[in-house]
Structure 1
Amino acid sequence: MTNSNEHIRQEALEWALATQETDFAGWAALTEWLEADARHGAAYDEALAAGNWMAELVATAAPAQVRAANDQPLAQPRRNTAWRRRGYIAMAAALLAVLLIPVWQMRPQPYDISTRPGETRTIVLDDDSRILLNGNSRLALDRARPRFARLDDGEAMFEIRHDEADPFVVESGDARLVDAGTAFNVMRNGAALDVAVSEGAVIVNPDREAVRLQPGRKARIDDASGRITVSQVAVAEVGGWRSGQLSFADASLTEIAAALERTLGTPLTVSPAIVHRRFSGVLQVQDRDEKALLAVAPVLGTRAVKRPNGWELVASDAQP
């Protein structure tokens, strides 16, 4: 796995260097490479950051160019494109051999990964564990703590390779979740946190309540009171948002609107006249667009109405 990651980093650095050329014409190939593996995007971003750092270092260290006595700028030698490309390859090799590890270590250790509404992202960790981030979500990782994540907002599905000696830890608000060979979904919903397990087990707040969730169990943790409410959930529904299946149990329309906005990428509010309504059931979102919203609104006993800043759920019999 380490060799694979190093190979990806090497390719990412070569792409990052090549794209700095004004005559770079390989955008289609770069796009294909980025889409070939979920790890490529993160590696490319890191390589760009490393390249920027090196450029600043070189600019700072480079001696000032001597001007001619008549103050006329010196003629600039023409550069050969092929030579430049060979130079970039040599530079990439030199960076990898001498500077790559220090540069990676000098990056900020904690870092955030976020998604826009309607966008999803898969993060593959060094041990092949995966984190699938739903739309409109923000996750914090720490290079100094590879078995740690913090969900600040939104929703994520964790597929973790268990290590009994070094369990994976997820934090969100004041809650601490520890894996025990696990696939589980975590959703930060305002002042509450929802955790549902489909495989293995999760221990909620092991230093306090130590609630153990087995497959088919979920917990809601209220931030204000600290109360943990445990209930059942169908294993197939855990992380169902990945396939467009959104499951709710006595959820407010405000919660449902937030979930639909994460999935569809469409700003969505709820009319004050029906904000008190609740819903239990499954919404199947076939497409990630406005048509899907128009299709699911009647299931909630509502209509979706276009507003200047997005959409609003109103009562089905409400006047336009």
Structure 2
Amino acid sequence: MHSDARTAAEAHAIDWLIRQRDPAFADWDGFADWLAETPEHSETYDRIASLDRDLDSLPPAAQPAVTIIADAPRRPSRRAWFGGAIAAALVGAVVLPNLGLLGDTQRIETAAGEHRTINLADGSKIQINGASVIELDKDRPRFARLESGEAMFHVVHRDTDPFIVEAGEAKIVDLGTAFNVVRRSRQTSVAVSEGIVLYNPDRDNVRVVAGQGIEARDGDTKAPVAQPVDIASVGGWRSGLLVYNGTPLAVVAEDLKRTAGMSVTIAPEAAQLSFRGALIVDEDRGRTVADLAALSGTKAARRGDGWVLTR
């Protein structure tokens, strides 16, 4: 079997194995049809299933410096479910050439609507939203740079070795923390759900505690002021919950593109409108857009693969 075809067959076999662990799985006819397509499909599935059965007997592996996991989509309206040891052991091996590493193991890119988790050797974790770029430094294991997009950081604190996140001109230093960072065009947003961060300690030295957030633009001469935020909404994109308080519709559309791969265009006459409320990004994308239109006083119309909001 050609290497590309073998990789595709392995990916499909893993997908079938994971799906079959869901008690609600019912597509046995589809599974049988896939097995019958070629003898290699049945052979590949048997091999993957056999490896799955043997995984529990394997000795614990040494902790890698960085583990990258392609997250399964999670929605607030459905129970999250993950496929177990076979997914952790094999998905990375099968999907790794397409992870966006581009030959540089320290650069991680996600497509719009794609979520990934990076587990670091010190126990810290970075959850990356779609359409984002994170850069790590193998010589600085407690450092990350958010070049663009959004990520949630869960940091194991060390008094003598703080974890540092750079985003644009900003430097964010943890003091035992879980916090979300968004990097848009010349703008950085930080919101803290646990602990404390210091924003630009060498210049602005703004202390941001749990339940607070800041918005800062590149070139600002004044330090940003910490404002109250809803802790429950920090990093809500991970479960499909987006909460806003007077946010321009264009920013909401950008977030929907990043989080769910949705294309929402704001008509010029609606560009100055702001949005307050919560959106649940469900499998029914049309419903999400309908909620956005109703809460923002706009009208939604389908256009190609996306939607447009007008007054």
> Could you say whether these structures have the same fold, taking a TM-score greater than 0.5 normalized by the shorter chain as the test?
yes
In the TM superposition, what is the alpha-carbon distance from 1:174 to its structure 2 partner? 0.3
In the TM superposition, what is the alpha-carbon distance from 1:29 to its structure 2 partner? 4.9
- What is the count of residue pairs matched by the alignment? 240
* Partner SS state of residue 225, structure 2: strand
Partners in 2 of 1:214 and 1:200 — Cα distance? 6
Map of 1:252 onto structure 2: 248
- Pairs within 5 Å for 1:25-44: 26-31=10-15, 36=84, 44=93
Match status 1:287 vs 2:291: no
Map of 1:181 onto structure 2: 176
In the TM superposition, what is the alpha-carbon distance from 1:21 to its structure 2 partner? 9.5
Q: Which amino acid aligns with 1:306?
A: R
Q: Tell me if structure 2 keeps the 8 A contact 1:285–1:296.
A: no
Change (3 A) 1:144 1:290: farther
Partners in 2 of 1:132 and 1:203 — Cα distance? 20
Match status 1:141 vs 2:136: yes
Partners in 1 of 2:237 and 2:4 — Cα distance? 41
In the TM superposition, what is the alpha-carbon distance from 1:304 to its structure 2 partner? 2.1
* Partner SS state of residue 242, structure 2: strand
Partners in 2 of 1:42 and 1:125 — Cα distance? 18
Q: Sequence identity of aligned pairs in percent?
A: 39
* Partner SS state of residue 229, structure 1: coil
Match status 1:271 vs 2:267: yes
Q: Tell me if structure 1 keeps the 8 A contact 2:244–2:275.
A: yes
Q: Tell me if structure 2 keeps the 8 A contact 1:140–1:150.
A: yes
Partners in 2 of 1:47 and 1:23 — Cα distance? 14
Change (3 A) 1:290 1:224: farther
In the TM superposition, what is the alpha-carbon distance from 1:222 to its structure 2 partner? 1.1
Unpaired stretches in structure 1, ≥5 consecutive residues: 1-17, 50-106, 316-320
In the TM superposition, what is the alpha-carbon distance from 1:279 to its structure 2 partner? 2.1
Partners in 2 of 1:242 and 1:21 — Cα distance? 31
Q: Which amino acid aligns with 1:44?
A: A
Give CA-to-partner distance per residue, 1:110-157, whole Å, 9 cap, x none: x32122221111111112211111122111112222111111111111
TM-score (norm 2): 0.68
* Partner SS state of residue 226, structure 2: strand
Q: Tell me if structure 1 keeps the 8 A contact 2:197–2:208.
A: yes
Partners in 2 of 1:258 and 1:127 — Cα distance? 33
Match status 1:299 vs 2:285: no
- Pairs within 5 Å for 1:1-320: 20=3, 26-31=10-15, 36=84, 44=93, 108=104, 111-227=106-222, 228-287=224-283, 289-308=285-304, 310-315=306-311
Give CA-to-partner distance per residue, 1:199-239, whole Å, 9 cap, x none: 01100001111111111111111113254132101111111
RCO comparison, higher one (Cα < 8 Å, 6+)? 2
TM-score (norm 1): 0.66
Unpaired stretches in structure 2, ≥5 consecutive residues: 19-51, 53-68, 70-82
In the TM superposition, what is the alpha-carbon distance from 1:294 to its structure 2 partner? 2.7
Q: Which amino acid aligns with 1:243?
A: S
* Partner SS state of residue 259, structure 1: helix
The root-mean-square deviation of aligned C-alpha atoms, in Å, is 2.9
Change (3 A) 1:288 1:187: farther
* Partner SS state of residue 207, structure 1: coil
